[in-house]
Homo-oligomer: A and B are copies of this chain.
Amino acid sequence: MSVTVLDVARAAGVSASTVSRVLNGTTPVHAAKRRRVLQAVRHLGYEPNGLARSLKQRKSLTLGLVVPDITNPFFAEIAKGVETASHRLGYSLILCNSGNAVERERRYLEVLRERRVDGLVFVPAGRHGDALRAWAARGLPVVLMDRVVAGVASDAVTTDNRFGMKLVVRHLVRLGHRTIGFIGGPRGVSSADERWVGFLEGLREAGLAPESRLMVRGDFTFETGLRAAPALSAAARGRLTAIVASSDVMALGAMRAVHQRGGRVPETVSIAGFDDIAAASLVQPPLTTVAQPVREIGERAVELLVGRVAGERTRPSFVRLKPRLVVRHSTGPAPASGARR
């Protein structure tokens, strides 16, 4: 069927092993033979069979990437970083979109094991982590991104979410805001939890008392923001001058809600997000947010993973990248005081 090393060997008048050596540069080969081999390769249009090589060498040069939703711009950016780094280092990447479903996630890990991927770059969907623990228990390399899972001591690349969120709160406080609503992410997702804590700490730093009725949880969707903003306004009885969302998408939803009700951003209420997705700078007004080094997250994760595949480290490394505040026009000075709807 397809042309094999043996075919090349025959055409070049050498043995299969010699062909292999030439192709992989494992061992020196006489220049003359080497040339004949290369020529035969070209002549026959030989293409090595990666499957056979992987089987023999017991490594597939393939990595798995599992994300909750590739259409989420944040994960798309991460995926791009992961893809770039993988191919740069000679690995192919199998894409798995878990759709935030734990069951699908479990199935994917199974498939990836069967495919004998050399490692896994992973943004876990929920808090759970059984499937992941099972994976790690087999000694298979895995690097978590964005969030960590309780009880799994694997490599991870995350953002300093607490710090990032405090940056936002400070910014708002400096602008004179005293009553700030918060739209958080799902409980149990570590990055969301950290942002929640960062928000509380930011308030405390400023001597502000948190009000639990002004803090709601969402699921990182636009709809959450859309619904939460009016709810927060109502809960604050007109005192609210700013809203911080735990993701840009939710912030965009909040902004939309404000506009729909005839409010203006930032005049009526300031709004800030987290992530700095592309859309953040494209909306009107452009969104103040916390920029995560997304590309870098993906790239560092792969580098860590490949290092571990090569057996470099033995203890898990935990990389925390610093985010930075990006001030745009969705935040402004707090209104002098008092009632507005």
Binding site for B on A (CB under 8 A): 1, 47-52, 54-55, 58, 60, 62, 65, 69-71, 73, 76-77, 79-80, 83-84, 87, 92-97, 108, 110-111, 113-116, 222, 252-253, 256, 259, 278-279, 282-284
Contact = CB atoms under 8 A, between A and B. Distances in A.
A191 to B, nearest CB: 20
B92 A94 contact: yes
A274 B79 CA distance: 25
Contacts of A116: 49-51
B97 A94 contact: no
A55 B113 CA distance: 17
Given A73-B73, A114-B47, A83 B55 contact: no
A256 B278 contact: no
Nearest to A84: B97
Contacts of A55: 49, 51-52, 55
Contacts of A83: 70, 95-97
Instruction: Name, among A48, A49, A108, A259, the residue most crowded by chain B CB atoms within 10 Å (CB to CB).
Output: A49
A314 to B, nearest CB: 19
Contacts of A282: 222, 252-253, 256, 279, 283
Contacts of A54: 51
Contact of A47 (B52, B94, B113): B113
Contacts of A92: 94, 111, 115
Contacts of A279: 279, 282
Given A50-B114, A252-B282, A284-B256, A95 B94 contact: yes
A76 B72 CA distance: 8
Copies of this chain held together in the complex:
2
Given A1-B58, A51-B60, A95-B95, 10 more contacts: A49-B55, A51-B116, A55-B55, A70-B76, A71-B76, A71-B278, A87-B111, A256-B282, A279-B279, A283-B284
A340 B211 CA distance: 50
A2 to B, nearest CB: 9
A60 to B, nearest CB: 6
A278 B116 CA distance: 36
B70 A114 contact: no
Contacts of A58: 1
Contacts of A114: 47-50
Contacts of A62: 94, 115
Q: Which 6 A-B pairs have the closest CB atoms?
A: A95-B95, A50-B114, A71-B76, A51-B55, A83-B97, A50-B115
Nearest to A116: B51
Contacts of A51: 51, 54-55, 60, 115-116
A1 B49 CA distance: 23
B71 A80 contact: yes
29 contacts: A47-B114, A49-B55, A49-B116, A50-B114, A50-B116, A51-B51, A51-B55, A51-B60, A51-B115, A51-B116, A52-B55, A62-B115, A70-B70, A70-B76, A71-B73, A73-B76, A79-B95, A83-B96, A83-B97, A84-B97, A87-B96, A94-B94, A94-B95, A95-B95, A253-B282, A279-B279, A279-B282, A283-B283, A283-B284
